[in-house]
Amino acid sequence: MKRLLSEFIRQINRSFTFVVMDAERLKQFGVKTLKPLSIVLATGGILFLLFLAIQAVLLFTPLRNSLPGVGTEDMRSDARQNELRLQSMADSLALQEAYLNRLRDIILGNVEDATSSFVDSEAPVFEDGTSLAELELPDPSDNWEDHVQPALPIERLNSAPSAQPLSFDVGPSFLSAISFPVLPPVSGLLTRGFDARTSHFAIDIAIEEGSVVRSIGDGYVVLSDWMNDGGQVIAVAHAGGFLSVFKHNSSLLKQVGDRVRDREVIARTGNSGEITSGPHAHFELWHNGLAQDPRAYVMGW
């Protein structure tokens, strides 16, 4: 056999005739003419097709997920989302640590230390390399007085009454007008009020993480996304120019364009985003572009 193969290799372009016979009866079964080069090409072609078939099975079937280093698009998306959340959590922890240190200095009477705690050389460093000492906090807006309560609709600023009415003539609408005052969207303890001077156009409600957030009225979701400072944010546009916004949620249950009904669950409370000090509900209410103090529109607050 070895001699026959070596003969094939030396004369690969020549044709060979094989006679097939029974060794015992010396009976001839047939005559075959073969060319070694044709056999090599046929064998190579079969191996190449087999290789392509294996590649197709691995790339276009569920077996692809079993290959090392290959994941589904959902897995990659989840990994990116988790990376953003981890970075946000690290920055939030740094801010909270500095805040607690400042509170401790104030309680102990170290006023100077408390004042300089935000510019200390050992201030925590964020993931992007920015230290707390280099962090530029936003100044209150120049037009913060526009939002001082009662903040009147923009079109009524020139001839506004002395008090903000709680009912509005919205005219024909696809949505039912909100009947104020409304039931609270969440149930919890008020920890921070509305303050236009410091650009806190909302109220903060301390509440257990994972509690439901309900819509204050019929409307359409116009924002449902992750924001660096507010975490998981959802905003609902209502009839009459009202917009309700909820930040720092743990999960959002509605998408942009979804229609929601009064008291329908739209999110769950949490502690997401950089600018947060613990699990709570951040509730903003806007009317015709001006921030409103939600306590004037919600029963029990």
Each residue's pLDDT expressed in tens, for the chain with a length of 301 residues: 677 667 667 777 777 776 777 767 666 667 777 777 777 788 889 999 999 998 888 777 777 666 666 556 667 777 878 888 787 777 777 777 777 777 777 777 665 544 444 444 444 555 556 554 555 545 555 677 778 888 776 554 444 444 444 554 544 456 888 999 999 999 999 999 999 988 899 999 999 999 999 999 999 999 999 998 899 999 999 999 999 999 999 999 999 999 999 999 999 999 998 888 889 999 999 999 999 999 999 998 7
pLDDT on residue 42: 85
Whether 183 is in a domain gets the answer yes
pLDDT on residue 285: 96
DSSP-assigned letter for residue 153 = P
Q: Are residues 289 and 219 in the same domain?
A: yes
201 CB burial (10 A radius; 0-12, 13-18, 19+)? buried
Q: Are residues 249 and 151 in the same domain?
A: yes
Whether 238 is in a domain gets the answer yes
pLDDT on residue 76: 73
Whether 11 is in a domain gets the answer yes
pLDDT on residue 257: 93
Q: Are residues 16 and 97 in the same domain?
A: no
132 CB burial (10 A radius; 0-12, 13-18, 19+)? buried
Whether 129 is in a domain gets the answer no
Q: Which domain holds residue 52?
A: 2-64
Q: Are residues 289 and 183 in the same domain?
A: yes
Amino acid at 301: W
Amino acid at 131: S
Q: Are residues 151 and 290 in the same domain?
A: yes
Domain count, the chain: 3
Q: Are residues 84 and 199 in the same domain?
A: no
Whether 167 is in a domain gets the answer no
Whether 50 is in a domain gets the answer yes
Which CATH number fits the domain that encloses residue 254?
A: 2.70.70.10
Q: Are residues 281 and 154 in the same domain?
A: yes
Residue 248: which of 218, 278, 222 has the closest Cα?
278
Contacts of 266 (CB under 8 A, 6+ apart): 213, 214, 215, 221, 234, 236, 246, 252, 253, 254, 260
pLDDT on residue 234: 97
Assigned token pair, 263: 């008291």
pTM (2 decimals)?
Answer: 0.50
Q: Are residues 59 and 20 in the same domain?
A: yes
Of 45, 64, 83, which marks where a domain is finished?
Answer: 64
pLDDT on residue 14: 73
Whether 39 is in a domain gets the answer yes
Q: Are residues 59 and 89 in the same domain?
A: no
Q: Are residues 16 and 107 in the same domain?
A: no
SS3 244: strand
Whether 77 is in a domain gets the answer yes
Q: Are residues 77 and 48 in the same domain?
A: no
| CA dist., res. 187 & res. 283, Å (int) | 12
Q: Are residues 148 and 266 in the same domain?
A: yes
